[in-house]
Amino acid sequence: MRWLTQLKMRFLMLTKRQHAAEQLEDEFSFHLEQQIAENIASGMSETKARQAALRTFGNPTLLREQTRETWNWNMLESLLRDLRYSVRTLRRTPGFAAMSILVMALGIGANVALFTVVRGVLLKPLPFADSDRLIVITEGGDEVSPDHPVAGGIFEAWKQQSHSFSGLALTGGAEFNFSAGDTTGTQLAESLHGANISANLLPVLGVQPAFGRGFTPADDRREAQGTAILSWQLWMRRFGGNRAILNQTVHLNSQPYTVIGIMPAWFSYPDPTTQLWTPLYHDKPTALMISRDQHEFRAVGRLLPGVSESTARAEISLIVNRIRSQHADDPYISLKANTRPLLEDMVGDIRRPLYVLLAATGCVLLIACLNVANLLVARAAARKKELAIRTALGGSRLRRIRERIVESLLLSTAGGAFGLAFAALALKWLVQARSEMTRVESIHIDATVAAFTIAVVAFCALLSGLISAFSSGDRNILASLQSASRSTSPGQSRVTLRRVLLSLEVGLTVVLLIGAGLLLESYARLRSANLGCITDNVLTMRIMVPRMQGSQPAQLVNFYEQLLDRVRALPGVKAAGFTDVIPGQGYWEDANFSIPEHPALPAGVGLFAINRWVDPGYFNAIGIPILKGRGLDPSRKLDRVDEVVISKLFADKYFPGEDPIGRHLRVTDGTAVYLFRVVGIAGDIRYSLGEDPAPIQYFSLLAGVKNNGSLIVRSSSNVEQLALPIQRIIQSLDRNLPVSDILTMDQLLGRSTVDQSFNATLLVGFAALSLILAAVGLFGVLSYIVAQRTSEIGVRIALGAQREQVLRLVLADGLRPALVGLALGLIAAAGTTRLIQSMLYGTRPLDLTVFTAVSALLLAVAAGACLVPAWRASRLDPVQALRSE
């Protein structure tokens, strides 16, 4: 029953504390009254009796304190007292409080935001059942092509012969011309990014549609009726979330498809922009699906329990190898298989940049803590006398440390609250700005993030509180009472501590600045990389022509010719062309070829190069020079297309020391073989901004095999104004033809470098923030030192010191920690920038320009921050200064 009594006491002490205090007073006075009464009874006078009673009783104030210490919740009570005290102190210096809270809010906010991103994107398991058993499989060849997509025939062999997987599924990207209603309907047609998936993909991932059903093997055949599954977002956007769409027909590339299911809102696979899914084996020709050397797909497999990834990789590699040796005449069959965990496959590219950014925010936080610690130390110094008096009166050292930590806890908690709000805003912006980022949908502020925030707040409170507490915990604190009222020298150790803090701050800032500088330089190089074609005043727009029934190649060619004729006739258009892939847009596809004029290659060796389908006017439109020979012949169409233009690198690599004009390329497309005559050599271009130019073969669009690509229009000025008239032309040719990605060349390239620009911008932001913090720190410390030395400087000036000398003296005093920090930072940066080497383009991690520029910037800012206090010191009026004490 004792626990019950204790519980009752606990409750009483919590709720009736005030009452208990009153009772204690009563108890004491009763005791004294009794004693006085007894003393009077034994013959003392009333005054004497009172004095004697107090003597036997002891010091009531001390006893009251000691008694209260035995009460429950005493810790809490004294903590509350400290808290109240801290709030009062902070309220008395609102500028200091606001500054510290702002600094903390920025530091904590940036960390929480980045941590939320890292957790959502990199750390959270994928939302699939047992997602750690899911692996992505690709094929691999020799060092020329160590990793490439999977061929349908190889996948078939894996499926039949492998014993490592409980399921193997195949996916391929697809672009759809989507329209709901009938083909002649008024519904808006749009171009959508989707995916072809094998029927078992959803079961392999362990996912079910939110409504309706998934694909069955019966749907996943060439001869089956078309079926489609919509993403939640597409369903909401186009059909307002109406379930009546199930079992209705929509048109994809003018073919009817029945909507059989809607995926849950969180599901997006293979990438965040996928909006609908169709069965792979229904959509793709059977010949492609059994081909062993047309590498077009990605495989995903679920490992059986107990089977490791390496075992599975060895097994399927062996299968590829066996097929390769069975078909030794086909050099385009791969040598092995590559595997990686699904999560790794999805986020592998953004892992390093995200961790680099997280590390940067960590530095910012550290700088913020050091700055707040610095401010606290400065204040402790200003309150030196007060603290000394309290120590003299018996205030314990532990108590002072606790008080300081409570104070910094208060600051960092307020900072954390604002920081969390700031992080929420930043994340909201990020999710919108980077909607194409992998797993962006899994970025949320949740309980873990809240726990992280609390941990960060506690860390900041402890760090800045302890630093300042230990600086004021000098054992000789009483010395300040003894030292004369004239503050001649500020406690030397305290100033040393602040200088060390400043050097650390500056050092971290230098590391951040150099990292940011390198990324910025790299981004600038990337954007200024010569693409090999004209990028000014070039407008592009993507068009997808649905495959018509019947004589489609002729119709396609007719469409392209009409389109280009009418666009070229528009006023303001200097040139127009059409290509399936724009320079800088990516690798996209390559084609195998051989050169009949050359001796046969040894078995197992095959040649391949990037291929592009372009209209004859394309070279002129985008400004790729024809270096030799001529361009493609516009009069050769359809079956009569037998010409190819090759790039300079292609000529150098495959026709070394000979004239390629008039030679031939034999191109195999699955089963068919075509012969093309080389008619010209074009200038090299970069297929991607970050990559070196590669050999390219250009075929004529007029063959009528490509039904999608981009229109390229060049003008002398304001090319964007042409977008609407061109769209009107396209509408008049075919009202159901969706146009997408209407972008100038500059915008297109900006989009392809959005990652680099994003990383560089954020890092520059963090570096700028820490530069400001470091400058504020320098300014604060130097101002403080000058204030402390006012009378000393006054004496110097009175004794005849030149004002320039004083200026130099104070400047040197302030710049010393900046120089030490700069040296530290440069050394640290030289060690750490190697970590971001893989994020750099055309920039070495030890780039001299960046290191020099950062040093100069830092010195300039440091000098600027020190100049004001130094100037003030040199302008001191000695009479005033000496009188001010």
Partner 1 sequence: MGKPSDLVQGTLDLLILRTLQTEPKHGWAIAKRIQQISNEVLQVQQGSLYPALHRLEQQGWITAKWAESETGRQAKFYSLTTAGREQLEKETANWTRLSQAINLIVSEA
Task: Summarize as ranges the residues that interact with partner 1 (CB under 8 A).
Answer: 1-3, 5-6, 9, 13, 23-24, 26-28, 30-31, 33-35, 37, 56-60, 63, 66-67, 69-72
Of 34 and 496, the one with the shorter C-beta distance to partner 1 is 34
Of 59 and 225, the one with the shorter C-beta distance to partner 1 is 59
How near is the Cβ of 29 to partner 1 at its closest, in Å? 10
Q: Which residue is it, tokens 């949908």?
A: 441
Q: Which of 372, 388, 377 is nearest to 497 (CA)?
A: 377
How near is the Cβ of 57 to partner 1 at its closest, in Å? 4
How near is the Cβ of 48 to partner 1 at its closest, in Å? 17
Q: Which of 116, 128, 155, 119 is nearest to 342 (CA)?
A: 128
* DSSP-based helix, strand, coil % in the chain, nearest 5: 55, 15, 25
Dihedral sign, CA of 672, 673, 674, 678? Answer: positive
Of 19 and 444, the one with the shorter C-beta distance to partner 1 is 19
Of 28 and 355, the one with the shorter C-beta distance to partner 1 is 28
CA neighbours closer than 13 Å in the CB half-sphere of residue 66: 6
Count of Cβ atoms closer than 10 Å to residue 656 Cβ: 8
How near is the Cβ of 67 to partner 1 at its closest, in Å? 5
Alpha carbon distances (Å) from 257 to 199, 218, 545: 15, 15, 18
**Residues found in the chain:** 885
How near is the Cβ of 47 to partner 1 at its closest, in Å? 19
Of 33 and 142, the one with the shorter C-beta distance to partner 1 is 33
What φ, ψ does residue 436 adopt, rounded to 5°? -90, 0
How near is the Cβ of 56 to partner 1 at its closest, in Å? 5
Whether the Cβ atoms of residue 220 and residue 249 lie closer than 8 Å to each other: no
How near is the Cβ of 399 to partner 1 at its closest, in Å? 19
Of 56 and 562, the one with the shorter C-beta distance to partner 1 is 56
How near is the Cβ of 498 to partner 1 at its closest, in Å? 43
**Buried/exposed 481-512: b ≥16 CB within 10 Å, e otherwise:** eeeeeebeebbeebbebbbebbbbbbbbbbbb
Of 69 and 446, the one with the shorter C-beta distance to partner 1 is 69
Whether the Cβ atoms of residue 347 and residue 78 lie closer than 8 Å to each other: no
Whether the Cβ atoms of residue 665 and residue 695 lie closer than 8 Å to each other: no
How near is the Cβ of 22 to partner 1 at its closest, in Å? 12
How near is the Cβ of 31 to partner 1 at its closest, in Å? 5
Distance CA 545, CA 532 (A): 28
Of 5 and 492, the one with the shorter C-beta distance to partner 1 is 5
CA 115 vs. chain centroid, Å, equals 10
- Quick check: helix, strand or coil at residue 191? strand
Token digits of residue 372: 């707040």
Alpha carbon distances (Å) from 95 to 101, 370, 375, 384: 10, 18, 11, 20
Of 50 and 193, the one with the shorter C-beta distance to partner 1 is 50
Dihedral sign, CA of 213, 214, 216, 221? Answer: positive
Of 28 and 418, the one with the shorter C-beta distance to partner 1 is 28
Residue type, 173: G
How near is the Cβ of 40 to partner 1 at its closest, in Å? 13
Of 71 and 452, the one with the shorter C-beta distance to partner 1 is 71
DSSP state of 148: B
Distance CA 616, CA 57 (A): 111
How near is the Cβ of 16 to partner 1 at its closest, in Å? 13
Dihedral sign, CA of 340, 344, 347, 349? Answer: negative
Alpha carbon distances (Å) from 42 to 36, 39, 45, 46, 662: 10, 5, 10, 11, 137
Of 31 and 568, the one with the shorter C-beta distance to partner 1 is 31
Of 6 and 496, the one with the shorter C-beta distance to partner 1 is 6
Of 77 and 642, the one with the shorter C-beta distance to partner 1 is 77
The counts of H helices and E strands in the chain are: 28, 22
Q: Which of 687, 685, 713 is nearest to 541 (CA)?
A: 713
Whether the Cβ atoms of residue 374 and residue 466 lie closer than 8 Å to each other: no
How near is the Cβ of 6 to partner 1 at its closest, in Å? 4
Q: Which residue is it, tokens 């233009």?
A: 645
Of 7 and 724, the one with the shorter C-beta distance to partner 1 is 7
How near is the Cβ of 1 to partner 1 at its closest, in Å? 6
Strand stretches in 181-294, DSSP E: 190-197, 211-212, 227-230, 249-252, 255-262, 276-279
How near is the Cβ of 52 to partner 1 at its closest, in Å? 11
Residue 15 sits at the vertex; the CA angle it makes with 13 and 16, to the nearest 5 degrees, is 70
